[in-house]
Amino acid sequence: MKKVPFLLVLLILFVSCNQSKLPKIAPDVITEFTLNDTDDPAIWVNPNNPKESIVFGTDKETNGAIYAFDLNGEIIKEKTIKGIQRPNNVDIEYGFRLNDSTTTDILVFTEREKQQVRMFSVPEMQPLDQGGFSVFEDEDNQNNRLPMGVSLYKSSKNGAVYAIVGRKTGPADGYLYQYELKSDSTGVSSNFIRKFGGFSGVKEIEAIAVDDEMGYVYYSDEGVCIKKYYAEPSMGNKEISCFGGDYFDEDIEGIAIAAYDDGHGYLIVSNQQKGEFNIFDRETNQFIKAINLSTTETDGCEAVTIPLNETFKSGLFVAMNDEKNFYFFDLGKLGLQ
């Protein structure tokens, strides 16, 4: 009988100790496979016909893409953006003003190897950025100019739309940069507004999520906690709170915000190595519970609370799965209400 190598035994024990013991919740839909490495999803709700809503997901590699999926998990080839050099995170915002009479919904994503952010109209998928907006231009260290996380914020004060961008590495203070996206007769521009956000230096910051209605930005300081700041620049750069770290095994990853019309809601955050998602109250940020959605090594996730079709009657939760795909769940399966 062959002896199992000692290091292999340790690895098996480590993996088994980190696997969730909670009952698995099966997805309603598993998407088609991407080419390389899935990372982060965003959901566009079609205002005219929710059944034709689109889930976008990044495929993270030099020959990467932003894949578009229908609600059956099938790739929509004509809506997929290919030839992107390592897209990382993606987000959606509604009602971006192009001129006095025209608005469009937009999709924004980071393109790490080009040190820029891209911006497209949705659902037309037309580029609005003249090739891309450079980020972190004042950084001398090239490693500190590689964008990862991005989230969009639409101000309730004046309707301005901002992109909040994180990077692969950065300083202890001012890790995030905030840019205003503006359109005029010459096209869309990206204007630097501020830098903010503390970083522990333990691992990295990738996941960023903005609560438009409440005006907060959350991000995962991966080895420490979920950090909370004001998304409105005029509210200042002081950290509001650093919470939740005790509920995670190792990396704190993707953050989804399930926001309901009556003001209540939840933060759903990937406990990556544990194979679980931790749920926090949207208003108090208190821990509620953990759930096992049967995904592996989840990075990004996203949620909408609007009924979409017969499968997603309670809304939709999307989670990246480490098998080059995404899992779709009816939001009701998470047991939030």
CATH code, domain carrying 225: 2.120.10.30
Any domain includes 29: yes
**In contact, 189 and 180? CB cutoff 8 Å:** no
Domains contained in the chain, number? 1
Which DSSP helix (H) or strand (E) runs through 16?
A: helix 6-18
Closest CA to 303 of 273, 282, 324, 274: 282
- Reading the block at residue 294, the tokens are 């049967």
Provide the token pair at 189: 């521009």
SS (H, E, C) 242-254: EECHHHCCCCEEE
In a domain, 5, yes or no: no
- Per the structure, the complete domain to which residue 41 belongs is given by 23-334
What does the pLDDT look like over 183-231, one tens digit per residue?
998 899 999 999 999 999 999 999 999 999 999 999 999 999 999 999 9
Task: Render 291-331 in DSSP notation, one character per residue.
Answer: EB-S-SS---EEEE-S--SSS-TT-EEEEEETTTEEEEEEG
Identity of residue 251: D
In a domain, 85, yes or no: yes
- Write phi, then psi, for 31 (nearest 5 degrees): -75, 165
Kindly state whether residue 301 falls inside one of the protein's structural domains.
yes
- pLDDT for 131-179, tens place per residue? 999 999 999 999 999 999 999 999 999 999 999 999 999 999 999 999 9
Q: Which of 219, 144, 227, 232 minimizes the C-alpha distance to 180?
A: 232
> What's the confidence (pLDDT) of residue 137?
97
In a domain, 209, yes or no: yes
pTM (two decimals): 0.94
Say if residue 15's pLDDT is above 80: no
Asked whether residue 155 is domain-assigned, the answer is yes
Residues 248-268: tens digit of each pLDDT: 999 999 999 999 999 999 999
* Inside any domain, residue 4: no
Phi/psi for 319 (5° steps) reads -130, 135
In a domain, 137, yes or no: yes
Question: What is d(CA 259, CA 254) in angstroms, rounded to the nearest whole number?
Answer: 16
- Over the Cα atoms of the chain, what is R_g? 19
Nearest 10 degrees: CA dihedral of 226, 303, 36, 275?
Answer: 60
